[in-house]
Amino acid sequence: MASTEQVPAAPATRAPRGPSLARRLRRGYDRWWFAYVMLLPVVVVMGVLVFFPLARGIAFSFTDADRYTIGGQDIPSSYRYIGVDNYTTLDDDPNFWSVLGFTGIWTFVNVFFHFAIGLGLAVMLNRTLRLRGFYRMLLLVPWAVPSFITAFAWRYLFNVPNGFFDQVLRAIGVDGPAWLGDPTWAKVSVVTVNVWLGIPFMMVALLGGLQSIDKELLDASSVDGASNLRRFWDVTLPGLRPVAATVILLGIIWTFNMFNVIFLITQGGPADETQILVTYAYRYFLDYQLYGVAAAYGVLILSILLVFSSIYRATVRKLGEETWA
């Protein structure tokens, strides 16, 4: 990563106790006024729309806010603080643990296939071949077409008995599975759709990563007599590590919170078997209108992802990566 320090480089915060806080602040302003100004719009927007609501959301999770107490434009709110009750009673809901479990499986299975297939396609597209641009453009279609449309399309393709897949199977005499009706197959189906949706992004990122691997290293390794596989393992994969590490983490975060696919295709069904934490939290928000509990789910999601990403980054760093950010 290119060094980006502005001259002079010494940060003002290292100054000795001598100057007062006001002096130090002023000096900080003098040095980095431009940076702060450039940041101001984003800080304001994110502060108002993300961090402030987040704080409020966390606060809500400690209340009994529901349809009667949340209030509105001229109806005063009347919710009360109830401590950690929303958290301790999370598993009063009989579905809680299975929802949590499926969320984990959902995330890891999806990202695994996103990466594996994305890498495979990227490697293939990295070779010179005719029609490369044509393939690349078409392979990006799942990303370009709005996901709520493709979700509806897949939902109808999976329909039993009127959907395309079931009719094809019946035409060749096979009694197809209940793609969306059987609990296990429904899980397979939603994972399939999400994998289909997520591959283009991975493919593009990894393709770029492949193209930016130092050519000299690759040539050097083949001159040394390495086979294609060896070369891939020893030069390509490590060269990909920075890109791969980032996109995998992003993929995990995005998949964990992927609302559209499940909401639009199975609504969490059948019998709540395809619920993940986000969709289940949404039900608490919209159907039960138990806003305190919905907020608690949100905090739970955030905590899980925070813990996970800390562990992840530490692990990646240990594998010899340079500093992140």
What part of residues 136-175 is at the interface with other proteins (CB under 8 A)? 137-150, 152-162, 164, 167-168, 171
The single residue among 26, 183, 188, 230 that binds other proteins, judged by CB under 8 A, is 183
- How is residue 269 annotated by DSSP? -
Which residue lies nearer to other proteins by CB, 109 or 140?
A: 140
The single residue among 73, 216, 229, 320 that binds other proteins, judged by CB under 8 A, is 73
Q: Work out the number of other CB atoms within 10 angstroms of the CB of residue 84.
A: 10
State which of positions 245-304 bind other proteins (CB under 8 A): 245-247, 250, 253-254, 257, 259-260, 263-272, 277-278, 281-283, 285-291, 294-295, 297-299, 301-302
**Residue 108 binds to other proteins (criterion: CB under 8 A):** no
Instruction: Give CA 201 to chain center in angstroms.
Output: 12
Which residue lies nearer to other proteins by CB, 109 or 178?
A: 178
Q: Minimum distance between the CB of residue 115 and other proteins, rounded to whole angstroms?
A: 13
Give CA–CA dist 166/182, Å, rounded.
14
Q: Minimum distance between the CB of residue 83 and other proteins, rounded to whole angstroms?
A: 18
Paired tokens of 79: 């919710």
State which of positions 210-229 bind other proteins (CB under 8 A): 211-212, 219, 222-223, 225
Give CA–CA dist 209/282, Å, rounded.
37
Give CA–CA dist 140/299, Å, rounded.
34
Length of the chain: 325
The single residue among 20, 34, 83, 320 that binds other proteins, judged by CB under 8 A, is 34
The single residue among 96, 196, 232, 312 that binds other proteins, judged by CB under 8 A, is 196
Whether the CB-CB separation of 143 and 121 falls below 8 Å is answered with no
Whether the CB-CB separation of 193 and 110 falls below 8 Å is answered with no
Nearest to 91 by CA among 269, 309, 297, 247: 297
